[in-house]
């Protein structure tokens, strides 16, 4: 069973609760004065524009701490070139909480081709350049400059996915834990409600940040392995893990006592070791390879990644320790998932659901996208190797109650100034994992499988979509609601287990097009992604077409695919392009694999090893599309219909011995002619590459 955890709303409220609830959390001293505050207890620094909506991390954490009685201020997108903006709310009584924002700052600023993006959806008017690269590091340093003695606690997805040594795609090297680089005092990872509530109350009660050891979902430093702990050594990829037991207490007795037990000392040690597995499970730590050992050893890095991903179930995960120079990084097990009552409490907080009035009438693209959407759950047990949701939110689904969700829809209907009757989404990381879980809580708490749905749906998984169907039906019948769309990513392999769900979805919640993500058509890349084969897609499409016809609607599936994923050959991409042409799909935008920090696929990309299975140094490498030209080719196959890509594709098809696919008939992939005036963008010289990195700040 999952360990018990204190309800986050059962703490005694801090004395500052007397100030009441703020209409919006303050961003200036004038707003603090209006609220009657002389200081903030906590100041949250974020790389996003401040939107008081539960889809934005700083708003959710801020409102949650406010509900605990604390005064919380927001410093949004500060000028990081000096510490001045970090003093605008004064000195916080307890700590600075630092986040890069809803996205990793590097993913936010750079494309998979390392080009600088022209806009930022989390900034007013979509302006780019309002946050620094590696924002968590930079903001933390400035907080420390502003108030040297104030604790700095980092969190959010950027910190969460960089909690140990990690491969950084943009600098093409393994970096230290962000806790080291940021010089922060503590790191919280995952959805941080449970940790941050405990941390804040303990600091308010007089504890020092250095006292906060052993809190689930946190990372800190230790000087040495605590007394009484066993160490499971995983520092070598080719050597089975060795367990170093805690020091034998029978060898710590006085001389006469040792002498009196000499005849049975072996029996005492055996007895001690016999009981260690069970009695010491809560006091066993896994030692990962040191940063210095793996930073230049991709295979050892892949090994460390594989070990770390085996310790992500909060029911059985062990803490991790990793040496960084003279310091030792201690990663506590993941936090216990929130109960439905706790989830309801978090989402029922008094959010205004609007951007802070500081922004006036400015357009913030991310807000426009989510303002009329409702998050019904969090977490994902899909385990897609290229995705970081599982590493951040966990595999166990955390659900809101139906009543809480309906209450939020009604609040949108009744208070949103530009609501037209359309809810843009009811979902979360996935559209249809609401209330799906392991049938047996004991099995769930002990399972180490990376996915509940690959290579097939686990027999222990409950796939009953009835609660979700009921929610959809209740929501769409609400007065004033014209249409509820489902825009979150759909797990169609789960959906086909419930034709009733597909019928409800297709009949009432699709606006002509439904986006789904088979990601590829070929078995080799799909096996490295942990995604189902195209037979599952075909079965879903049959249901989709059937129920669309029954509803008298002309509706279409829009499949998404990934180029240049580990395990993908040129031939795989060619076959995908042929599939696209057979089905007359012409993608306007395509995505290339981006190796985000800490994902399984990133470990494959860096090492060339299949980290989904046991491996060693002698094992052969898998196909990794890394070169710029090959990555462009793979993207070109996805856009086989674009004349700008034809010269590159002709060259590739000829070198692959597939020149028969070049011609002007329906059976050909691309034509043999080149339209006049159409330049070959894909074959451009790499001479412009350096222009994308005209600032050294990219790699700081």
Give per-residue pLDDT as tens, 553-577. Answer: 999 999 999 999 999 999 999 999 9
CB distance 258 to 228 below 8 Å: no
Q: Write out pLDDT tens, residues 171-212.
A: 999 999 999 999 999 999 999 999 999 999 999 999 999 999
**Distance, CA of 126 to CA of 116 (rounded, Å):** 14
Q: Right CATH number for 15-217 from 3.40.50.2300, 3.90.79.10, 3.40.50.300, 3.30.1330.10?
A: 3.40.50.2300
What pLDDT score was predicted for residue 698? 29
User: What is the per-residue pLDDT across 593-614, written as a single tens digit (0 to 9) for each?
Assistant: 999 999 999 999 999 999 999 9
- Domain 372-509 architecture: 2-Layer Sandwich (3.30)
CA-nearest of 177, 179, 186 to 150 is: 186
pLDDT at 267 over 70: no
Q: Residue 619 — pLDDT band, cuts 50, 70, 90?
A: confident
Q: What is the pLDDT of residue 680?
A: 60
**The predicted structure's pLDDT at residue 391:** 86
pLDDT band at 681 (very low <50, low <70, confident <90, very high): low
Task: Give the pLDDT score at 279.
Answer: 58
Give the closest residue to 119 by CA, choosing from 17, 207, 49. 49
Q: How far apart are CA 209 and CA 186, in angstroms?
A: 8
Contact 638, 563 (CB under 8 A): yes
What is the pTM assigned to this prediction? 0.92
The pLDDT of residue 241: 79
Residues 425, 374 contacting (CB under 8 angstroms): yes
Q: Among residues of the chain, what percentage have pLDDT more than 90?
A: 87
Burial bucket for residue 186 (CB in 10 Å: 0-12, 13-18, 19+): buried
pLDDT > 50? residue 667: yes
Q: pLDDT per residue over 526-552, tens digit each?
A: 999 999 999 999 999 999 999 999 999
DSSP labels, 247-311: PPGGGGS-HHHHHHTGGGHHHHHHHHHHTHHHHTGGGEEEEPPPHHHHTT-HHHHHHHHHHHHTT
Residue 277 is predicted with a pLDDT of: 56
In the chain, ranges of CATH 3.40.50.2300 domains? 15-217
41-66 confidence digits (pLDDT tens): 999 999 999 999 999 999 999 999 99
Q: Where in the chain is the domain with CATH 3.30.750.210?
A: 372-509
- The model's pLDDT over 152-174, given as tens digits with 9 standing for 90+, comes to 999 999 999 999 999 999 999 99
pLDDT band (50, 70, 90) for residue 240: confident
Q: pLDDT exceeding 70 applies to what percent of the chain? A: 92
Structure token digits, residue 357 = 């009035």
Segments in 91-153 forming alpha helices (H): 105-109, 135-146
- Compute the average pLDDT of residues 218-231: 93
What DSSP state is assigned to residue 660?
G
pLDDT of residue 248: 56
Identify the pLDDT of residue 245.
77
Q: What is the pLDDT of residue 252?
A: 47
Confidence at 254, pLDDT banded by 50, 70, 90 = very low
pLDDT over 90 (residue 644): yes
Model confidence at 274: pLDDT above 60: no
pLDDT at 692 over 70: no
C-alpha 56: how far from its chain's center? 14
Residue 326: the pLDDT is 93
| Buried residues in 329-339 as b, exposed as e (16+ CB within 10 A) | bbbbbbbbbbe
What pLDDT shows up at residue 694? 31
pLDDT at 445 over 50: yes
């Amino acid at each position: 069973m999952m360990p018990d955890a204190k309800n986050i709303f059962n703490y005694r409220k801090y004395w500052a609760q007397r100030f009441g609830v703020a209409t919006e959390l303050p961003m200036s001293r004038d707003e603090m004065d209006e609220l009657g505050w002389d200081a903030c207890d906590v100041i949250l620094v974020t790389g996003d524009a401040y939107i008081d909506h539960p889809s934005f991390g700083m708003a959710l954490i801020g409102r949650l701490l406010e509900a605990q009685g604390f005064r919380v201020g927001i410093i949004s997108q500060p000028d990081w070139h000096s510490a001045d903006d970090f003093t605008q709310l004064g000195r916080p009584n307890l700590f600075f909480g630092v986040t890069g924002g809803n996205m990793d700052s590097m993913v936010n600023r750079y494309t998979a081709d390392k080009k600088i993006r022209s806009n930022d959806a989390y900034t007013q008017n979509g302006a780019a350049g309002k946050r620094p690269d590696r924002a968590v590091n930079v903001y933390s340093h400035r907080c420390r400059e502003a108030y040297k003695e104030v604790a700095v606690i980092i969190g959010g997805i950027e910190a969460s996915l960089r909690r140990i040594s990690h491969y950084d795609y943009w600098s093409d090297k393994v970096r230290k834990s962000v806790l080291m680089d940021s010089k922060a005092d503590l790191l919280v990872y995952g959805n941080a409600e449970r940790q941050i509530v405990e941390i804040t109350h303990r600091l308010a009660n007089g504890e020092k940040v250095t006292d906060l050891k052993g809190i689930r979902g946190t990372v800190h430093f230790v000087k040495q392995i605590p007394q009484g702990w066993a160490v499971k050594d995983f520092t070598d990829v080719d050597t089975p893990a060795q367990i170093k037991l805690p020091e034998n207490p029978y060898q710590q007795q006085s001389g006469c006592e040792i002498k009196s037990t000499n005849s049975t000392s072996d029996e005492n040690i055996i007895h001690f070791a016999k009981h260690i597995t069970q009695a010491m499970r809560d006091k066993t730590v896994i030692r990962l390879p040191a940063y210095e050992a793996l930073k230049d050893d991709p295979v050892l890095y892949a090994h460390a990644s594989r070990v770390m991903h085996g310790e992500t179930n909060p029911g059985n995960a062990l803490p991790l320790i990793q040496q960084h120079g003279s310091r030792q990084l201690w990663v506590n097990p993941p936090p216990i998932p929130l109960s439905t009552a706790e989830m309801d409490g978090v989402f029922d907080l008094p959010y205004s659901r609007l951007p802070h009035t500081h922004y006036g009438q400015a357009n913030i693209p991310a807000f426009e996208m989510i303002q009329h959407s409702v998050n019904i759950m969090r977490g994902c047990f899909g385990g897609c190797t290229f995705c970081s949701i599982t590493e951040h939110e966990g595999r166990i689904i955390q659900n809101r109650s139906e009543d809480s969700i309906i209450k939020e829809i009604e609040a949108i209907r009744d208070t949103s100034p530009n609501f037209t009757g359309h809810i843009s989404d009811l979902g979360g990381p996935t559209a249809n994992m609401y209330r799906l879980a392991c049938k047996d809580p004991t099995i769930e708490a002990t399972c180490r499988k990376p996915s509940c749905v690959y290579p097939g749906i686990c027999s222990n998984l409950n796939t009953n979509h009835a609660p979700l169907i009921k929610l959809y039906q209740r929501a769409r019948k609400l007065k004033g609601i014209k249409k509820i769309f489902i825009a979150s990513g759909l797990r169609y392999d789960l959906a086909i287990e419930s034709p009733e769900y597909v019928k409800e979805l297709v009949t009432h919640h699709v606006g002509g097009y439904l986006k789904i993500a088979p990601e590829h058509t070929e078995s080799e890349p799909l096996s490295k992604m942990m995604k189902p084969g195209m037979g599952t897609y075909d079965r879903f499409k049959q249901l989709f077409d059937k129920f669309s016809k029954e509803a008298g609607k002309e509706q279409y599936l829009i499949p998404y695919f990934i180029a240049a994923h580990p395990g993908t050959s040129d031939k795989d991409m060619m076959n995908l392009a042929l599939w696209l042409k057979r089905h007359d799909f012409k993608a306007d935008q395509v995505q290339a694999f981006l190796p985000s920090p800490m994902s399984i696929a990133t470990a494959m990309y860096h090492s060339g090893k299949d980290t989904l299975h046991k491996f060693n140094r002698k094992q052969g490498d898998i196909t990794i599309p890394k070169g710029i030209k090959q990555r462009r080719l793979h993207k070109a196959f996805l856009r086989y219909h674009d004349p700008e890509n034809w010269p590159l594709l002709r060259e590739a098809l000829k070198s692959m011995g597939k020149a028969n696919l070049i011609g002007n008939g329906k059976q050909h992939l691309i034509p043999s002619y080149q339209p006049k005036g159409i330049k070959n963008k894909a074959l451009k010289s790499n001479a412009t590459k350096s222009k994308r990195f005209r600032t050294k700040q990219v790699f700081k």
